[in-house]
Amino acid sequence: MAAVSLPLARKFGETARRDRWWLTPLLVVAGFGSFIVYATWAALQGQHYWVNGTNYLSPFYSPELWGNSPHAWFGKSPSWWPAWLPYSPAIFILWAPAGFRMTCYYYRGAYYKAFWADPPACSVGEPRKGYIGESNWPLRIQNIHRYFLYVAVLFIFLLAWDALQAFRFADGFGIGVGTLVLCVNVVLLAGYTFGCHSLRHLVGGRKDCLSESPGCKAMHTGCSALNRKHGLWAWMSLFSVMFADVYVRLCSMGIWKDIRLI
Amino acid sequence: MGQVTLKVWRGNSESGQFQEYTAEAGEGMVVLDAVHQVQATQAPDLACRWNCKAGKCGSCSAEINGKPRLMCMTRLDDLPPGEVITVEPMRTFPLMKDLVTDVGWNYEVKKQIAPFAPRKADHRDGTWKMHQDDADRVQEFRKCIECYLCQDVCHVLRDHHKHDQFVGPRFLVHLAQVEMNPLDTGDRIADTKNKHGIGYCNITKCCTNVCPEGITITDNAIIPLKERVVDEHYDPVMMLLRLVLPKKKSGQRSAVSGQETHG
Ligand code: SF4
Ligand code: SF4
Ligand code: FES
Ligand code: FES
């Protein structure tokens, strides 16, 4: 009968788990981290976000309020913009999807684990003793999520409009690979946005007697169906939006050539 | 299957150590069977709590290979073959002896939660009418067997010992169960925020992952409660609307037509 001592308080990373518990947090750091790096870089470029001869517009730059592309709503870059500061139309709008994802319940759970080790994984020892979670500032700010949701829903309609525009080419109606990329992207983003926990609450979850409001009940059922795989929608849409930007960027730079299917 | 080696925690709140035992593994055996075999053949003083051996009483909670699980629902052939199986008591509660912990704190917590307060009965015979769809939503929470595995894995209790400020996932499920019940007239949202400490939950879903009843604790109970807290305490528009529009709790509602539920 061999005797082994039980660690009374577990230190950082200490666990009796035998599986590869570190793999998921590692993938989250790699996936989310590379997205943040790429998105920041792409947003600051201020060029190659549309493709001449097509109506493709990168989702990172839509809606384009002021800018140099034909998609700009209010014309060229604003005159009040300081000359010494490089201009990019993306900086006016990217706060919205960034805030939406940063305050998303799914991502919160994932990045608290992966980036903050709180906990590193379930039943694995933590690095810090103190803890306030979301019970006080600064993380109480996460309760703002539904306000980002309102903007995100608006963006879905704008991106759907962009996807429709992508069927229009200089010679009329058509479908290119880029059209498909933008369409798939908006479907995945919609699946993510319409499965949001806050939306699920607002459209019906806040009621105890859902059966009294058939409209709310139908919306709540739909939202719940998407919500069941919210994490999956979150990752698929994150990669699709990044890929859509890469696609538009490379086509615009002439490195990739968009193939016309119809 | 041959023999399995178990590394079982032996000790009390003062001191303890792991002891290795062997057991003959048979077809369909679970960890609780192996522990019973050890009790019968090698360690008659080994303390373990169990009752139903069917995953329904919630007594045999422990940590098997580092994961909170029911001993009676963990099959030996589902564990990595040929490896030593570690069996430890839950870490969130005071240890009494060997695999038995004192889960009494949970009973005290439950007493602090405002109980279910149904509206006046809809019928003279003391029954209510409620729609099946509305009943279904809270039915999921009623599956809880109070095994407290979710409490054990929750890092707010396990690592940060916030037992005096946070009721833990089990009781957030209970709060959701009474709060979302269409017959209930109580309002526990302010308590959920202030007294029961829902803000401590950082939605890492460990509780959902270990629940043997498959209750979607985080998505269906905790997050909807967090959203109700936002309505009442953080969202200025909702707070304004609540001032203008009187709060409609189910107690003031007329009964809806639908399937009859006897109260
Ligand atoms: S989701 Fe919340 S309640 Fe559940 S284990 Fe994580 S912190 Fe605890
Ligand atoms: S919610 Fe699940 S894990 Fe928690 S006590 Fe109930 S049955 Fe056990
Ligand atoms: S909870 Fe994930 S988008 Fe709202
Ligand atoms: S003995 Fe009842 S749940 Fe395991």
| pLDDT single digits (tens) B233-246 | 999 999 999 888 76
B109 lies in the same domain as B196: yes
Residue B213 to chain A, least CA–CA distance (Å)? 17
* Of residues A180, A184, A222, the one with CA closest to residue A200: A222
Taking the model in full, what pTM does it have?
0.94
Residues of B (97-116) whose Cβ lies below 8 Å from A: none
What's the residue count for chain B?
263
Q: Would the ipTM clear 0.90, i.e. be above it?
A: yes
If you average pLDDT over residues A43-60, what whole number do you get? Answer: 96
Burial of residue A165 (CB within 10 Å: 0-12, 13-18, 19+) is middle
Q: What is the mean pLDDT of residues A156-168?
A: 98
- Counting every residue written for chain A, the total comes to 262
For residue B116, is pLDDT > 80?
yes
Give the span between the Cα atoms of A39 and A246, in whole angstroms. 10
Q: What percent of chain A has pLDDT over 90?
A: 90
* Alpha-carbon span B54 to B128, nearest angstrom: 33
Residues B109 and B17 reside in one and the same domain = no
The model's confidence at residue B15, banded by pLDDT at 50, 70 and 90, is: confident
Q: How far apart, in Å, do the first and last CA atoms of chain B sit?
A: 50
- Cα angle A23, A120, A118; round to 5: 150
Which has the closest alpha carbon to B217: B200, B197, B203?
B203
At which of B71, B101, B131 does a domain end? B101
Residues B205, B256 share a domain: yes
Residue B8 and residue B86: Cα distance in Å, rounded?
A: 6
Q: Domain of B7? A: 2-101
Q: What span, in angstroms and rounded, lies between the C-alpha atoms of B179 and B63?
A: 32
Q: What confidence tens digit (pLDDT) does each residue in B80-102 have?
A: 999 999 999 999 999 999 999 99
* CB distance A240 to A189 below 8 Å: yes
Please give the structure tokens belonging to residue B226: 């967090």
Looking at residue A10, its pLDDT comes to 78
* Same domain membership, residue B114 and residue B86: no
Average model confidence (pLDDT) across chain A: 94
Mark yes or no for CB contact B231/A105 under 8 Å: no
Instruction: Give the list of residues 6+ apart from residue B259 with CB closer than 8 angstroms, or none.
Output: B129, B130, B131, B132, B135
Task: Give me the pLDDT at residue A5, please.
Answer: 43
Neighbours of A79 (CB within 10 A): 7
Residue A9: band (very low, low, confident or very high) from pLDDT cuts 50, 70, 90: low
Q: How would you list the strands of the sheet with B16-25, edge to edge? A: A3-4, B16-25, B2-11, B85-88, B61-64, B67-70
The CATH number covering residue B16 comes to 3.10.20.30
- Is pLDDT at A212 greater than 70 in this prediction? yes
Confidence of residue A102 (pLDDT cuts 50, 70, 90): very high
Can you give the pLDDT at residue B1? Answer: 67
pLDDT of B169 over the 70 cut: yes
Same domain membership, residue B169 and residue B92: no
In the block, residue with structure tokens 């690095």: A127
Nearest to A143 among B153, B156, B230 (CB): B230
CB of B218 within 6 A of ligand 1: the answer is yes
Angle between helices A230-253 and A23-45 (to 10 degrees): 40
- Give the distance, in angstroms, between the CA of residue A257 and the centroid of all CA atoms in the same chain: 27
For the ranges A9-18, A103-112, B148-157, the lowest mean pLDDT is seen at A9-18
Boundary (domain end) residue, out of B101, B122, B144: B101
CB B98 within 8 A of CB B223: no
Determine the pLDDT at residue A8: 54
Strand (E) or helix (H) holding B129:
strand B128-129
Taking residues A10-27, report their average pLDDT: 93
Indicate which ligand has the atom closest to the C-alpha of B176. Answer: 2
Other C-beta atoms lying within 10 Å of the C-beta of residue B116: 14
pLDDT tens string B18-55? 999 999 999 999 999 999 999 999 999 999 999 999 99
Question: The domain that contains B109 carries what CATH number?
Answer: 1.10.1060.10
Number of domains in chain B: 2
Chain B residue with minimum CA distance to A109: B204
Contact A245, A42 (CB under 8 A): yes
Looking at the complex, does the CB of residue B172 fall below 8 Å from at least one CB of chain A?
no
Q: Is the predicted pLDDT of residue A258 greater than 60, yes or no? A: yes
Q: Are residues B59 and B128 in the same domain?
A: no
pLDDT > 70: percent of chain B: 93
pLDDT value at residue A7: 43
What is residue A231's three-state secondary structure? helix
Show which of B34, B68, B101 is a domain's final residue.
B101
**Ligand 3 test: best mutation among A32, A143, A197, A236, most atoms within 8 Å of CB?**
A197
Instruction: Dihedral sign for Cα A174, A176, A179, A180, please.
Output: positive
CB A89 within 8 A of CB A65: yes
pLDDT, residue A83, reads: 87
pLDDT band at B248 (very low <50, low <70, confident <90, very high): low
User: Do residue B169 and residue B253 come from a single domain?
Assistant: yes
Give A3's pLDDT tier (boundaries 50, 70, 90). Answer: very low
DSSP single-letter state for residue A216 = H
B230 touches chain A (CB under 8 A): yes
> What's the pLDDT score for residue B249?
60
The stretch B192-216 carries a mean pLDDT of 98
